[in-house]
Amino acid sequence: MAIVYWNGDYIPLEKAVVPVEDRGFLFGDGIYEVVRVYGGRPFRLADHLQRLHRSAAGAQLPLADAVDEIPDIIQRLLDENGLRDTSFYIQCTRGCAHPRAHAFPAEVHPTLLLMHAPLRPLPANARTNGVSTITVPDLRWRRCDIKSIMLLPNAMAKTQAHDAGVFEAILVRDGLVTEGSSTNVLAVMNGTLVTHQADSDILGGISRSVVLELAAQLQLPVREEAFTVDEMYSAQELFLSSTMLEILPVTQVDGRVIGRGRPGPVTERLYEAFGKLISE
């Protein structure tokens, strides 16, 4: 039986319940992070926690005091659950307030949840053959830099991709590619690695930042700016990055073959460098 952390207690997952007046349940008034663990070691945990604090500041969300103990909480959950390779979901909400009202309550009792999530296997041959995607309108709010639990538009886009029989939905706003429903999108164009700038239109992914660091080490030219759908169609290479996927090549968008229809050399070099980094 999985053990989770819920507001100061380490309890079985089945006993972790949310009060009906929790603002996360009623309004989606909360933020979250997902941290990957390799061999018992959380990857880039400090970066995730820094982003958690940025999201909290953007959402004007006071955090529970125990947020400072998250590294120790994760270690205890790893030990109690006997885990080595996994991921952790961290969620913070504004907590319960009565009566229900849209405005932030004067008195806040923030909640904190940590639970592990098993790693999901990728589709067969996804890394060697790449995955297919579709483009869909980006219907999200204009503060995508806040990692909010208000994920209905993302879930709708992901479901649209699932129903179309493809791996991911690539979001498009005003003709420009922003990111995926749960990923960042990076392209190789004329030998340059290009990805949307880290502004309020995207969530600046931790893995995206790692990719850019590795690109600098490999002396690959990088440009952080938005690109059009047509520019994406004509890219030499295209790939997704995220905490769970790491680096995953895309070989088809909207039925159009990207590049030569197989993972390209830049994507492969970056994935190899990523693998060395997590094994250090």
Distance between first and last Cα of the chain: 32
Position 58 scores a pLDDT of 98
pLDDT on residue 1: 81
Flag whether the pTM goes above 0.75.
yes
Q: Give the pLDDT of residue 267.
A: 98
- Active site annotation includes 15: no
Region of 129 please: left (phi>0), alpha (psi -120 to 50) or beta.
alpha
Q: Which residue bears the tokens 């297919």?
A: 132
In the numeric block, the tokens 């890219």 are attached to 235
Sequential pLDDT tens for the chain (280 residues):
899 999 999 999 999 999 999 999 999 999 999 999 999 999 999 999 999 999 999 999 999 999 999 999 999 999 999 999 999 999 999 999 999 999 999 999 999 999 999 999 999 999 999 999 999 999 999 999 999 999 999 999 999 999 999 999 999 999 999 999 999 999 999 999 999 999 999 999 999 999 999 999 999 999 999 999 999 999 999 999 999 999 999 999 999 999 999 999 999 999 999 999 999 8
Decide: 81 and 74 in contact? Cβ < 8 Å.
no
The structural domains of the chain, ordered by start, are: 3-117 (3.30.470.10), 126-279 (3.20.10.10)
Among candidate residues 15, 147, 158, 276, the one labeled active-site is 147
